[in-house]
Amino acid sequence: MVRRFIAYLLIVALISVNFSRLFIYAGFELNRNYIATKLCENRNKPWLHCNGKCYFIKKIKQAQEKEKNDERQSQKNLFQEALFAQKPDVKFYSQVLQVMQVPTHRIALPNVDLPIFLPPQLG
């Protein structure tokens, strides 16, 4: 029972990461009046008809920056440094490094003097 609950919780957590913009939009829609009256940067300029959209756009940009930073951090974690304790032993095999001679005889093509085909003239 506990394992099933943990599995469902992890699935929901993984899916919710992809819907962060949806959660931001839902929070904006639910708190539109509060945001427009208290948090909006243009609340003193009613002729702009912002109604909190500036705050919404700022939050979307913050979420995008956070996603980019998380992606960069995860890419940094993918790179790992390797340290070899022993010096690698490199051997060169002379059989592989032999110079191969190109054959000197040439293939002679048949010398045929045939007229070049010309299509019939129209007209």
Q: Nearest Cα to 53, choosing from 69, 42, 45?
A: 42
Token pair 């919710």 is found at: 16
Contact 38/54 with Cβ under 8 angstroms?
A: no
The candidate with the shortest Cα–Cα distance to 28, out of 1, 50, 6, is 50
Q: Where are the alpha helices (DSSP H) in the chain?
A: 2-18, 20-30, 32-34, 53-78
Tell me if 40 sits within 8 A of 51, measured CB to CB.
Answer: yes
- pLDDT tens-place string over residues 19-43: 777 888 888 888 888 888 888 887 7
pLDDT digits (tens, 9 = 90+) for 74-118: 777 776 666 777 777 777 776 666 677 777 777 777 777 777 777
